[in-house]
Amino acid sequence: MTLLLDTCAFIWLTQEPERLSAAAQAAINDPANHLVFSHASAWEMHLKHNAGKLILPEPPRQWIPQQLAAWTISEMAIQLNAIQRTSDLPPIHRDPFDRLLAAQALEEGFVIVSPDHFFPDCGVPVVW
């Protein structure tokens, strides 16, 4: 199974793994599963870091690639079809990053790792 990590799940995995649910930890640690990190999450993290709302051990430019390599997480670029799919999602959540992650998961058939109730409300399979 391919697991798309929500931004918070990526941060918790790398910084505070005890915040992940038992089901999320089991899915992430299952060698049969493939972990994916969206460039949308990188963008969100850079914006929050620059605004002083996200403290990281190093600037995101260095820290994110180090964590991707350490955890063997693949990158997922933002594709036009996912951007367009965001318009098809119900208007129940306005966060553009969550909407884009939901659209990417739906477009690619991925399961998202997230505690956010928005994702299942959009039909996105979730592990949490």
Helix (H) or strand (E) holding 85, with range, is helix 80-85
Q: C-alpha 61: how far from its chain's center?
A: 17
- Report the side by side order of strands in the sheet with 111-113: 74-76, 34-38, 2-5, 111-113, 126-127
pLDDT of 92 strictly over 90:
no
What domains can you pick out in the chain, each with its CATH number?
2-127 (3.40.50.1010)
- Determine if the pTM surpasses 0.85: yes
* Rounded Cα–Cα distance for residues 28 and 34 (Å): 8
Q: What is the tens place of the pLDDT at every residue in 9-53?
A: 999 999 999 999 999 999 999 999 999 999 999 999 999 999 999
